[in-house]
Amino acid sequence: MNILIISLSSAIERRNFQQIQMEKLKLDFEFLEATSIHNVDETTYKKHAKDWQRPLKNTEVACYYSHQNAWRKIIQSNKPALILEDDALLSKYTPKLLANLADKKQCELISLENRNRKKFVAKTGESIACASKLFRLYQDRTGAAGYILWPQGAKKLLQCEQKKGIALADAHITNCHNIKAYQVEPTPIIQLDQCRDYAVQNPINNVTTKSTVSSANNPKGGWVFRIKRIVFQLKLGLRQVALITKSERRYIAIRKQDFKTK
């Protein structure tokens, strides 16, 4: 399976980390140059800055376009690929899982990540490799650092952009309700900023910048954004009620020993 690692060429430490990690796991990959804020002109930024529930920062718009570039590459190749952000830490079982999941024709997206938040998943799952299971994933707001995407799923994400505009990459994936998404448990991928929370050794260092996605310092916008957030919460609540009969909201398990680096 193709592996695309979204990364800025200037992120030397992270690129070195990924090269070492991929060599250790014997995985072939390619770096996909991330979109920087310098690649997002003022016209593009203004076009999308008000698309979401709060004003998007230029770094968030750039991050979205980085993922969008990966989606377009998957459509062009007409093959599924694992999309990684360059701070993704992979478990030792990732290669076997990728080989096992490549032929899952019913899937359009498979999340391999965990950020210690609850997800809505099916009540029963399918056994796969490495004593793991694959569950239908109905609601996920936990990040976009590691997921397998099929061409049909990529097309749906771009179609969703045409209807709803853009958002944070993970929020956009969540808002694409018609995509057939699944979840691997235990999760074989976490981000470096989650190592401390999961008591996993950080192979780079023990002080990694925390995500600012939910920071209280993020701009909230005016009354228009308040209305947007209220409407979103109402729709989310109705969707969650509809999911009660076929899913359960819970944390996804992780085996921290799978991430041992020695």
Element (H, E) at 60: helix 58-77
Specify the CATH number for the domain of residue 11.
Answer: 3.90.550
Q: What is the pLDDT of residue 142?
A: 75
Query: What is the rounded CA–CA span in Å between residue 215 and residue 86?
Result: 21
Rounded CA Rg of the chain: 18
| Sole residue written with tokens 């029963």 | 124
Burial class from Cβ neighbours inside 10 Å (0-12, 13-18, 19+) for residue 248 reads: middle
Number of domains in the chain: 1
Which residue in 197, 193, 163, 187 sits closest to 255, CA to CA?
Answer: 187
At 210 the pLDDT is 52
Percent of the chain with pLDDT over 90: 79
Buried b (16+ CB within 10 A) or exposed e, 64-85: bbbbbbbbebbbeeeebbbbbb
Q: b/e per residue, 108-127, with b = 16+ CB within 10 A?
A: bbbbbbbbeeebbbbeebee
Better pLDDT: 217 or 130: 130
- What is the crossing angle of helices 151-164 and 58-77, to 10°? 140
First CA to last CA distance, the chain: 25
Residue carrying the six token digits 């390619």: 30
Under the banding of pLDDT at 50, 70 and 90, the label for residue 198 is very high
pLDDT at 240: 86
pLDDT band at 111 (very low <50, low <70, confident <90, very high): very high
Does residue 132 sit in helix, strand or coil?
A: strand
Measured between alpha carbons, how far is 63 from 187 in angstroms, rounded to an integer? 23
Tokens of 228: 């947007």
Q: Which of 78-82, 171-175, 215-219 has the highest mean pLDDT?
A: 78-82
**Mean pLDDT, residues 223-239:** 87
At position 111, the amino acid (one-letter code) is S
pLDDT at site 206: 53
The reported pTM is 0.92
- Structural domain including 192 reads 2-206+215-259
Q: What is the mean pLDDT of the chain?
A: 92
